[in-house]
Copies of this chain bind each other. A is one copy, B any other.
């Protein structure tokens, strides 16, 4: 990679004993044993519940991880936006649902191109104008109606609105209505399985009303997609969804760990760590590590150290490139020490990193690109 000599040089580390400790920091380090356990666990839960599993790539943004999910039994992949879908499509993923509505003729043409190029492309829509834009793009496109189940971010506002959008879709022979989507992002991190189950029940009632309205105007609803890592148990119990879209279970983060704890929804292993190095240790109260605002997202809870001796050392952000770690009682904390951090919120943390460093035990096995990163929609 031009301008990235340290990544090219790091290829020489692959396969060497102890090479995990030589990965240049800050680095998004993926523990393959934990990843594989998480993928198998979610695939098994979906199978047992009779639900199709379509993992959300917004959490990892990587074709390599998406392929492992498909091998583990997923029916396809979700992407949050066109740019993520285009990047994963270019890397060989050909079964993609885009889970956010788009706006504008140029974006509708991008969707049409994906629909032509991929084996199975789907996108959600939440407005009759959006239906018109997709229809005008001139390609057969599979669509689902996005239904607001209480989050208020996107989705049709209620059953009448769902019926309007369904009618608009049915008017266009190029558009094929597959079903509906209802995603409650705000339910995912609620503490307590009962609280999540109650919220899901309310939301699924809204979704059920929308489904009835779509069917009433002659629309097909074969697919009912939604859900996330935090609501799998409740989603399975409600029985409205036919397909679930969990993302964070693959890598996990502190936000899910804190909220879900040992609930079945939270019992996944932490697979992704941001490795950092102490680059300055001159201060009596803290040391400075090379992971800051650009290596870890700041929107969720603060990252926490996972390295033995540092677990109780509080982390604080200390500018773009640096973090502060209070000196732990259990460790002298020297310049050059390496510390693994559990990210607060995994999706925007992965977005900061060009590559994932795949490790098994203490050995670096591969370096893979995060193709779907970046702000572009």
A residues in contact (CB < 8 Å) with B: 2-7, 9, 22, 24-28, 58, 80-83, 86-91, 100-104, 106-107, 110, 113, 126-127, 129-130, 148, 152-157, 161, 185, 277-283, 285-286, 288, 290-291, 293-295, 297-299, 317-322, 324, 335-336, 347-348, 351-354, 371, 374-377
The answer to whether B278 touches A103, judged by C-beta atoms less than 8 angstroms apart, is yes
The answer to whether A100 touches B321, judged by C-beta atoms less than 8 angstroms apart, is yes
In the complex, the chain B residue whose C-beta lies closest to that of A85 is B3
Q: Could you say which residues of chain B place their CB within 8 Å of the CB of A374? A: 294, 352-354
Q: Could you say which residues of chain B place their CB within 8 Å of the CB of A156? A: 282
The answer to whether A153 touches B324, judged by C-beta atoms less than 8 angstroms apart, is yes
The answer to whether A282 touches B148, judged by C-beta atoms less than 8 angstroms apart, is yes
Write the nearest CB–CB distance from A164 to chain B, whole angstroms.
11
A297's contact among B87, B161, B293, by CB below 8 Å, is which? B293
The answer to whether B279 touches A100, judged by C-beta atoms less than 8 angstroms apart, is yes
Q: How far is the CA of A26 from the CA of B374 in the complex (A)?
A: 10
The answer to whether B348 touches A375, judged by C-beta atoms less than 8 angstroms apart, is no
The answer to whether A320 touches B351, judged by C-beta atoms less than 8 angstroms apart, is yes
Write the nearest CB–CB distance from A314 to chain B, whole angstroms.
15
Q: List 10 A-B contacts (CB under 8 A).
A: A4-B87, A5-B113, A26-B376, A103-B336, A104-B277, A127-B282, A153-B280, A155-B282, A293-B297, A353-B375
Q: A126-B282, A153-B322 are in contact. List 18 more A-B contacts (CB 8 A).
A: A3-B86, A3-B90, A3-B371, A5-B110, A7-B376, A24-B107, A27-B376, A80-B321, A101-B279, A103-B278, A127-B280, A153-B280, A153-B288, A153-B319, A153-B324, A155-B280, A294-B375, A352-B375
Q: Could you say which residues of chain B place their CB within 8 Å of the CB of A26? A: 375-377
Q: How far is the CA of A286 from the CA of B297 in the complex (A)?
A: 25
Q: Could you say which residues of chain B place their CB within 8 Å of the CB of A100? A: 279, 321-322
Q: Could you say which residues of chain B place their CB within 8 Å of the CB of A154? A: 279-280, 282, 288, 322
Q: Could you say which residues of chain B place their CB within 8 Å of the CB of A101? A: 279-280
* Contacts A280-B126, A294-B375 given; does A104 touch B336 at CB 8 Å: yes
Q: Could you say which residues of chain B place their CB within 8 Å of the CB of A348? A: 293-294, 320
Most buried by B among A130, A279, A285: A279
Q: Could you say which residues of chain B place their CB within 8 Å of the CB of A283? A: 148, 152, 157
The answer to whether A86 touches B4, judged by C-beta atoms less than 8 angstroms apart, is yes
Q: Could you say which residues of chain B place their CB within 8 Å of the CB of A291? A: 375
Q: Could you say which residues of chain B place their CB within 8 Å of the CB of A347? A: 293, 320
Write the nearest CB–CB distance from A250 to chain B, whole angstroms.
15
Most buried by B among A106, A129, A152, A353: A152
A86's contact among B5, B58, B288, B321, by CB below 8 Å, is which? B5
Q: Could you say which residues of chain B place their CB within 8 Å of the CB of A129? A: 335-336
Q: Could you say which residues of chain B place their CB within 8 Å of the CB of A106? A: 6, 9, 22, 24
Q: Could you say which residues of chain B place their CB within 8 Å of the CB of A152? A: 283, 285-286
The answer to whether A161 touches B298, judged by C-beta atoms less than 8 angstroms apart, is no
Q: Could you say which residues of chain B place their CB within 8 Å of the CB of A299? A: 293, 298, 317
